[in-house]
């Protein structure tokens, strides 16, 4: 091999005394090899500094070295966190990330995703909620031989195909915390219809009330869309009530912060006049004043784990791990209710 030329797959095969096809199998992590052969080829690759050609690998595998995140989610911070987690999982590999938005309400969503998978040939896909909750799309990926992992608030599939949080239990803990502080008139700002996460979070909210012997007052329930603006609108409606709540649980941080703004516009102090709890633990939740008590949703870790399940199918620990629990983060936006 000339000193000024880059090592090739042929050089690896010659030095390791194996076929070019065997080298390709090592590079593509095929299980059809003995450990001794794999180690010998990997050592030669390291010794001569051979760097595999991703285009050639893509042709050999009939897949691009791309992981696609397929989503229909209105929350920008959620998407930022997902992208961070997936990119952390892909770090040091040949893989890149592609983000594919879809319309979950379209009657053609399955056909649209089929066209995308056939045309782009991604190595694997991360299905984000609520798209991940569609069993037909998961079956489509399976039929096309495309690796997939579904992220959600509940377990949606076999462990190798899913990463989940425990939203219901986490919200139950958060609302129980408010009740322990002495709050009984607790409002909820819900998430958008068609998502499992708002259903799970409302279920956790109701479970906490029931455990404390409290009844859900439907007058304290407000719709939301996981956006700041919907939080402002819901919060304004709640604080204008004659018998307003002493605490609000919002199904995400953006809406919780929107409710904080609405309360301040009405002259209320937080937390003295109104306690507020969110869900997500976004960076902004610790920067607002007072800092927001919230549920830490491990979305970055979930996305990182999803990526590893796709690109490291032999990683037993990554593939067995499917539940990443959410935990309550106590900050400054909750105190016992003031006497009225």
Beta carbons of 70 and 131 less than 8 angstroms apart: yes
The region that residue 226 occupies, defined by phi over 0 for left and psi between -120 and 50 for alpha, beta otherwise, is left
Residues 111, 114, 118, 119, CA torsion sign: positive
**pLDDT band with cut points at 50, 70 and 90 for residue 231:** very high
Same fold, 61-165+299-325 and 167-296: yes
Q: Taking residues 329-335, report their average pLDDT.
A: 97
| CATH 3.40.50.10490 matches 61-165+299-325 | no
Query: How is the chain split into domains, by residue range?
Result: 61-165+299-325, 167-296
Residue (of 44, 88, 96) closest to 67 by Cα position: 96
Tokens of 65: 């070295």
Closest Cα to residue 314, out of 30, 41, 24?
30
Question: What average pLDDT does the chain have?
Answer: 90
DSSP 222: E
Q: For residue 316, what pLDDT band results from cuts at 50, 70 and 90? A: low
pLDDT in tens, 28-78: 666 667 888 988 988 988 888 887 665 555 555 555 789 999 998 767 888
Of 131, 125, 127, the closest CA to residue 146 belongs to 125
This prediction's pTM: 0.78
Q: Concatenate the DSSP letters of all residues of 181-209 into one string.
A: TT--SEEEE---TT-HHHHHHHHHHHHHH
With a cut of 90, say whether residue 238 has pLDDT above it: yes
Least reliable range by pLDDT among 55-59, 177-181, 262-266, 297-301: 55-59
Kindly report the CATH class assigned to 167-296. Answer: alpha beta
Q: Which residues pair with 78 in a beta bridge?
A: none
The whole-number pLDDT of residue 194 equals 78
């Amino acid at each position: 091999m000339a000193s000024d030329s880059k090592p090739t797959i042929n050089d690896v095969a010659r030095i390791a005394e194996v076929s070019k096809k065997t080298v390709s199998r090592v590079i593509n992590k095929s299980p059809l090899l003995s450990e001794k052969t794999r180690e010998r080829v990997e050592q030669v690759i390291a010794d001569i500094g051979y760097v595999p050609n991703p285009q050639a690998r893509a042709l050999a595998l009939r897949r691009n070295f791309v992981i696609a995140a397929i989503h229909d989610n209105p929350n920008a911070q959620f998407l930022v966190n997902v992208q961070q987690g997936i990119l952390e999982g892909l770090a040091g590999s040949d893989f890149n990330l592609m983000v594919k938005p879809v319309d979950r309400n379209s009657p053609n969503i399955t056909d649209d995703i089929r066209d995308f998978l056939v045309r782009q040939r991604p190595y694997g896909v991360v299905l984000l909620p609520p798209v991940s909750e569609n069993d037909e799309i998961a079956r489509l990926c399976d039929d096309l031989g495309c690796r997939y992992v579904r992220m959600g608030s509940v377990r949606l599939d076999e462990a190798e195909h899913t990463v989940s949080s425990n939203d219901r239990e986490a919200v139950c803990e958060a609302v129980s915390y408010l009740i322990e502080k002495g709050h009984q008139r607790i409002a909820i700002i819900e998430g958008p219809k068609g998502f499992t996460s708002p259903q799970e979070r409302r279920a956790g909210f109701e479970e906490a009330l029931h455990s404390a012997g409290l009844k859900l007052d439907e007058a304290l329930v407000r719709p939301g869309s996981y956006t700041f603006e919907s939080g402002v609108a819901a919060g304004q409606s709640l604080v204008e009530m004659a018998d307003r709540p002493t605490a609000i649980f919002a199904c995400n941080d953006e809406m919780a912060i929107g409710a904080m703004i609405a309360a301040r516009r009405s002259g209320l102090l937080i937390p003295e006049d109104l306690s507020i709890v969110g869900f997500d633990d976004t960076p902004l939740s610790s920067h607002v004043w007072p800092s927001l008590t919230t549920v830490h949703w491990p979305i970055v870790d979930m996305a990182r784990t999803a990526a590893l399940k796709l690109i490291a199918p032999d990683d037993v620990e990554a593939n067995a791990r499917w539940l990443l629990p959410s935990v309550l983060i106590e900050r400054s936006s909750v105190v016992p209710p003031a006497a009225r």
